[in-house]
Amino acid sequence: MSDPRDAAAVPMAPMAPPPEPGAASGPDRPGSHRAPDSDGSGSHRAADPPDGPSSHRAPETPDVPEVRDTPAVPAGPGRPGSHRAPPPRRRRGPWIAVAVILLVMVALTAGWSALAAGLDDRAPVPSGTVLRLGPGDGPALVKITGTGWWLSKSSSDPVRIYSLHLGTVTLSATYVTLVSTADARNVFRGADKIMAMTGGDVGPAERTRTASGNPGTTGDLTREGKTGRLTTYVAPDASFAVQFVLLAPPEASPSDRAAAQGVVRDLAFAASAS
C-alpha cells in the first residue's frame, strides 16, 4: 500500500495577497467578487455608496417654514410694507405775500372804497374834538374846528393815520416814527419822494409853524387834478413826526379849505400841550 506522501504533489495556484487597508474593492482592483449584472453582459458597474441601513432612502427635502394666515394690512403712509411716499405738502406761492402787502396799501390809501360803498363808513366828528394820534396815549393831538367834519372808519387807525373829510376836501394826518436826527431833518424830503411815487407833485419847501409855535415845513401839492398842501411837523424830542396831506378839487369851497388848513395849524404835542 502506497504512502500518500509519496504521491506527486499537485501544484496549487498562488493566493492573491489581501487588499491593503482602506483600498476599495471594485472591478479594477484584485479581490473584487461582485456578481455580474443581471443582463449577463458581464460588465462591472461601480458599487453604489453605502447609505446606511437601507440603500433606497428618499431624498431629503429642505425645511419649509410654516405659513399661517394673517389679516391683510392695507398699504398706506406709515404702515409696514408700504412703499408709497406721503403726498407732498402744498407750498404757498410768493404771490400771496405780495397780495397781502398790496391789500394793506390799498386799505391805507384808497380807504376800501368798495367796502365803504356798502357800509356806513362815516363817523361824524363834532367841532372841538381832539383826536389823539400815535402809539400809547397818543403823543400828537389833532384838534377839529368847524362843523361838517366826518372820519372814514375803514381808512383810519388811531396809532397811524386819520382820514378826515369836509365837503369835497380831504385831510389825512399820519404818524411817522423817526429813528435818528437825520430822519428828523429829512422828513419833508422823504414825504416829497413818496408823493412823487404816487403821482403827486410838491412845490418848493417853506417854513411854517403851528399855532403853539412848533416849527414845520410845508409846500404846495398837486395830485390827480386836486390841489392842496403837504405839511410835516417834527416832535420836540425828534422821536416822531406828523405828516398832513390836504387835497381838494377845484370846485371845493374856500371856507372848507380854510377850515382844513386851520386843523393843520392847530396840531399840538402832548408833551408840550398846556
Over the stretch 224-247, which tens digit does the pLDDT of each residue have? 999 999 999 999 999 999 999 999
Q: What is the pLDDT of residue 6?
A: 47
Contact (Cβ atoms closer than 8 angstroms) between residue 184 and residue 238: yes
Exposure string for 45-61, b = 16+ CB within 10 A, e = fewer: eeeeeeeeeeeeeeeee
Tell me the pLDDT tens digit for each residue of 114-150: 444 446 899 999 999 999 999 988 899 999 999 999 9
Q: What is the pLDDT of residue 182?
A: 86
Q: Report residue 221 as a C-alpha cell.
A: 401839492
Q: What's the rounded Cα separation, in Å, for the pair 166 and 262?
A: 12
Question: Whole-model pTM?
Answer: 0.58
**Percent above pLDDT 70 for the chain:** 55
Q: What's the rounded Cα separation, in Å, for the pair 248 and 123?
A: 20
Of the ranges 170-174, 177-181, 188-192, which is most confident? 170-174
Inform me whether the pLDDT recorded for 263 exceeds 90. yes
Q: What is the pLDDT of residue 186?
A: 92
Which domains does the chain carry?
A: 95-269 (3.40.1000.10)
